Structure formats: C-alpha cells, structure tokens
Amino acid sequence: MSKPGEEAVFHTSDTTPTRHGSVMLTSTPQAQARRTIFTAGRPPWYDATGETSHPFVIGITGGSASGKTTVAQSIIEELGVRWVVLMSLDSFYKALTEEEKEQAGRNEYNFDHPNAFDYDCAVETLKKLREGKGVELPVYDFSTHSRLKETQKMYGANVILFEGIMAFHNPELRALMDMKIFVDTDSDIRLARRLRRDIAERGRDLVGVLEQYSKFVKPSFDEFIYPTMKYADVVVPRGADNLVALDLIVKHVKRQLTSRGHNFRDQLIGAHAGEKMPDSLHVLPSTRQIKGLHTMIRNRDCPRDELIFYSQRLMRLIMEYSWSFLPFKPKTVTTPRNIEFEGKALDAEVCAVSIVRAGVTMESTLREIAKEIPIGKILIQTDEQSGEPALHYYSLPQHIGKYHVILLDSTIATGAAALMAIRVLLDHDVKEEHIIFLSLIAATPGIHAVAYAFPKVKIITSEVDETVDENFFISPGIGNFGDLYFGTN
C-alpha cells in the first residue's frame, strides 16, 4: 500500500460527461485539460468477510430534453462524493439495419418507442455494475445509428445514476433502482431544447426534427413515458431549477451512503487472535539460508544496494516456490540422447498484478522466471481521515478473468490492502481459487483477515511475524519496505 498523503494520478482517454454515460470524478480544471485526474480514493465497498454492499442506484426519467442529464449532474455535484457513475439509456439503442437506417434518414423510424432499446443488455450491464463488477458500456453513434466498436469501461461506484426516457418502462430495470426520479418539464421547453440538441449535436435539420417530434416524440411521451410517473419516488418539476427538490434528494442519498460505509481496519488486528493458521497459508520452507537473508534485509544498518540484492534473492525463492501451486499437465519430450522424458508443462495462462508501490519491487524478479508475463497494477493508499485503504487507480491485463493471477505486495500487515486488491480482481471475474498472493513477510492478523474473507486464495510468504503495532506496521517486521527499496522517506 502507498503512503498516506501521496497524490494519486492516472490518465484516462475521456472523463467528460456525455450522453453515452461516464464516470464522474472530482478533478481540477488543469487536470481536466491534460486528461489527468487527481482524485480521492474509493473507500472499501465490502465488509471484513469480503462481501460487497451494492452502490446506491438512482433512476431518472422524463420526457425527451426534460433535463434528466442536468438533474443527474446537479445531484453529482451536490453529493460531493467520488466514484459516481452516470449512465444513459441512450447507450443501449439497438443498432439499426440498413432498411431501418433508411427509415431514420426519412425521419420515419421511432427512436422514442420501447422497442428501440436493447433492454436485455441494459439490465445485464446495470446488474453487473450494481454487483460491483466491471462492465463495458456500448457507445451509440447517433449520426450513423450504429454502435461503435469501442466500448466504455466502467467499474467501481458508490452511486450509479441511470437516466433515459424509457428508464422506468422495463420492470427488471426498475427493480435495480433504489430511488426513482421523474423530471417533469413543460412540453414547450422540452421541444425548444430538443430542437437545439438534435440540430447541433446530431446533425438533424429543423423540418425533420419537428416532423419526428409530432409523429413520434409527443405520442410516445403520452403513451409510454408519462404513465411511468406513477413509479417515481420523487417528481421534480422544473428539473435542475428546483433546488429544494434536489436538496432533499441529496440529503437522502447521503444518509444511505453513510449507512452503507465500511470501517473495519482496526478490527482486523485482533479479530482472529489465537486461531490456528489457515490451510491456505504456505510458508517457504525455513533454512539457514532463508534466515540469513531475512537477517540482512531486516538490519536497519543494511545499505540500500545490499537490501535490494538480498531481497531480490528472497523474492526469487518465493516466486519459484509459488510456481509449484499453478496447474501443470504431463508432457513428454525427447532428450538430446533421443530418450523420452516424462515431464510437466504449465497448464494455465498466468498474469501478475502488483499493489503499488511496494509490490512493484517484485516485478523485475518475476520477469526473470516469466519474461513475457502480463503485469497489471493497483494503487491503494491509506485515507488520512478514516485510516482505511482507498482505491485510487487500477490497470489490469485484458480479459483477466481467464488468468491465474500472481498478486504481489512486499508485506501483509493488517490485510486491509490485500482485501481490497483481491476484491478488485474478483470484481473483474478472476476466480478466487486462481489467485496466489506473494509477500516477503506476512503478519498473523493479516493472514487471518485474508483467509477469513477469501479462503480459496493461496498466501505464500517467506516469514510470518506475529503482530502489528498501533501504526499498522508489522512487528518486528521491516518498516516501510517501499521507502527502503526506493530510497525515499
């Protein structure tokens, strides 16, 4: 885990809110210009057992151009919380056939009808995001009436806002919403907004927009949208201009978020005192060589170059040992003497993920035994106010769910960072039994915390220390290994 106070920085291709839906993160204007986000981290979204609490889902509907997105953005701004996702039902328009595209070109295709939306995809996507999983949101191109090849990746939310003209039409979609808001805006205002939007943003002409409004938009509102007002928990007249209504909504959501928060790092230290070590723990067989290496790297007077040298030797031994826990299959080869040898070959795709910063120290040693292994990163820092871990950034190998994952961190103290990193992997469809956690030193409380929450995760270390002090350092431990390795304070 990184030290508190270090600012998290990551790059993203686009963080501007669009009608395709986007992750909303707090950032400075300068950061937005560089597409670099400086953000407070995401606090734990799971409890000490590893079970997740689903985010608070707000559904927002209303007529076309009623101000749904503006209301959603106003709620986000007033909430003042990070890790908020804004999704639009517009992302789930069905791709049109060539015949339907011709109809659309003649303004004869009804985009304001329930049949225009892929509700199966919308329900599945929102359900997965609500369960804490990563999703790929389709991106719809209104100028060509087709889905683009690229998708928008989304993961991690305390609050999800899902807006769209037909957001309440589908009962499965409604069932996923904790709060439903209907934005009730005067029809003349909606028409004026629609004219501006469709001409400027979607390349339509004035006559075509008016024809479509009269033929499809208004009748669909009367038949399909307005009747769904009965499902709303809150009706907001005048949209984002109704500050009183928005204030009440924001206060309610904040109360819900407070009740769903998780603060348990202090509890991890003594939660399993006296219990026997779990079967998922595998300690490198102790030898005089291993003890000697620990003596070198734990010595406070050890020069930095020697600490790096001896710790890398220890890392190599741990990694070679860990490889034996991966699946192998029989393989027969022919020796240079033309004699068959019955051997073994790795029978799995393997990748690694390091917990920044100290986990990065193990990457070069891993490359020595697996040159082409894909390596991802997860940045977790301690929140100075709560003392809890906070997720700031992650970058994982593509399709990581198919891999056996070697998770790297130099130490396991309370297990708080380990729990968060494992939860991120599980949220991206990695199987629990396919995760192997490697560390140089692990403390008893952290081992129990990880094994209790995720019993199928294998924990491999070279030494077990008994306790964690009041500052969450392993005792006797080694101090801040990242600082010692990189020569920082």
Verify that 346 and 427 share a domain, yes or no: yes
Please name which of 88, 68, 5, 471 lies closest in space to residue 246, comparing C-alpha atoms: 68
Q: Is the pLDDT of residue 205 over 60?
A: yes
Q: Is the pTM of this model over 0.75?
A: yes
Return all residues near 34 (Cβ < 8 A) that are at least 6 apart: none
- Mean pLDDT highest for which of 3-17, 382-396, 456-470? 456-470
pLDDT at 263: 67
Verify that 284 and 245 share a domain, yes or no: no
User: Model confidence over 332-349: pLDDT tens digits?
Assistant: 999 999 999 999 999 999
Question: What value, to the nearest 5°, has the Cα angle with vertex 135 and ends 132 and 139?
Answer: 145
Q: Which residue is it, tokens 């022919």? A: 334
β-strand partners of 154? 135
Domain boundary among 259, 293, 321: 259
pLDDT at 16: 29
- How far lies 85's CA from each of 35, 88, 153, 340, 360, in Å? 18, 10, 11, 58, 30
Verify that 201 and 321 share a domain, yes or no: no
Mean pLDDT of 107-128: 93
Q: Is the pLDDT of residue 178 over 50?
A: yes
Which pLDDT band, with edges at 50, 70 and 90, does 3 fall under? Answer: very low
The backbone torsions φ and ψ at residue 27, rounded to the nearest 5 degrees and listed phi first, read -155, 165
Domain boundary among 259, 293, 323: 259
β-strand partners of 352? 375, 406
Domain boundary among 244, 259, 274: 259
- The percentage of the chain sitting over the pLDDT mark of 90, rounded to a whole number, equals 59
Verify that 280 and 421 share a domain, yes or no: yes
The backbone torsions φ and ψ at residue 475, rounded to the nearest 5 degrees and listed phi first, read -125, 125
Please name which of 277, 183, 292, 302 lies closest in space to residue 239, comparing C-alpha atoms: 183
pLDDT at 29: 32
Mean pLDDT of 286-306: 96
The residue ranking higher by pLDDT, 247 or 35, is 247
Dist. CA 348–CA 113, nearest whole Å: 47
Mean pLDDT of 249-268: 79
Amino acid identity, residue 30? Q
Please name which of 342, 313, 339 lies closest in space to residue 328, comparing C-alpha atoms: 342
Verify that 254 and 339 share a domain, yes or no: no
Verify that 380 and 308 share a domain, yes or no: yes
**Does 248 map to a domain?**
yes
The residue ranking higher by pLDDT, 303 or 274, is 303
Q: Which of 25-29, 49-53, 267-271, 358-362 has the lowest mean pLDDT?
A: 25-29
Amino acid identity, residue 191? L
Verify that 123 and 205 share a domain, yes or no: yes
- Distance between the two ends of the chain, CA-based, in angstroms? 15
| Mean pLDDT (the chain, rounded) | 86
Which pLDDT band, with edges at 50, 70 and 90, does 138 fall under? Answer: very high
Q: Which residue range is the domain that position 206 belongs to?
A: 9-39+54-259
Please name which of 450, 452, 481, 71 lies closest in space to residue 241, comparing C-alpha atoms: 71
- Which secondary structure element, helix H or strand E, spans residue 282, and what is its range? strand 281-283
Distance of CA 455 to the CA centre of its chain: 22
User: Model confidence over 8-56: pLDDT tens digits?
Assistant: 333 333 322 323 233 333 332 332 332 223 346 788 888 888 888 889 9
DSSP conformation class of 50: S
